[in-house]
Amino acid sequence: MKQFSSLTNDAKQKTAITLDDGTLVSVTLEYRDNQRGWFYSLNYGATGFVINNRRLVVSPNMLRAFRNIIPFGFACISAGGSEPVFLNDFVSGRVGLYILESSDIPVAEAVING
């Protein structure tokens, strides 16, 4: 599991993480004040898999629906379990974003399945 460590409190930001197999996942985050929340888009370079403008929510794997298509996941964890609704959520440490490697997926599934 790799945490996005370079996030700021900029309303629009782009970052990338290299998976263990060397492929790149590009993630764009955008804070929308009128919707009081963060939205994400991602591009998985190895396959051209793209997701655009989905709301960022607290989840052990927001990409679970695509688990048979892509070999990674995307987790959002917050202090107290509340949704990411503030511009400074990443800088304050209240919310953490993580890319789940294929070896992390069974752990996320165990959390989901309780």
Structure confidence by residue, pLDDT tens digits, 4-63? 988 999 999 999 999 988 999 999 999 999 999 999 999 998 688 999 999 999 999 999
Residues 6+ apart with CB under 8 A from 104: 1, 73
Collapse the DSSP code of 107 into the 3-class scheme (helix H, G, I; strand E, B; otherwise coil) and give the result.
helix
Residue type, 81: G
Mean per-residue pLDDT for 96-102?
92
Question: Would you say 92 and 65 are in contact if contact means Cβ atoms under 8 Å apart?
Answer: no
Question: Is 5 part of a structural domain of the chain?
Answer: no
Question: Is 2 part of a structural domain of the chain?
Answer: no
Order of strands, sheet of 73-78, starting from the edge strand that comes earlier in the sequence: 2-3, 95-100, 73-78
Question: Is 56 part of a structural domain of the chain?
Answer: yes
Collapse the DSSP code of 32 into the 3-class scheme (helix H, G, I; strand E, B; otherwise coil) and give the result.
strand
Structure token pair of residue 57: 């929510």
Domain count, the chain: 1
Question: Would you say 71 and 49 are in contact if contact means Cβ atoms under 8 Å apart?
Answer: no
pTM: 0.91
Task: List, in sequence order, every beta strand (DSSP E) within the chain.
Answer: 2-3, 12-18, 24-32, 37-44, 49-55, 73-78, 95-100
Q: Identify the domain containing residue 21 by its residue range.
A: 11-113
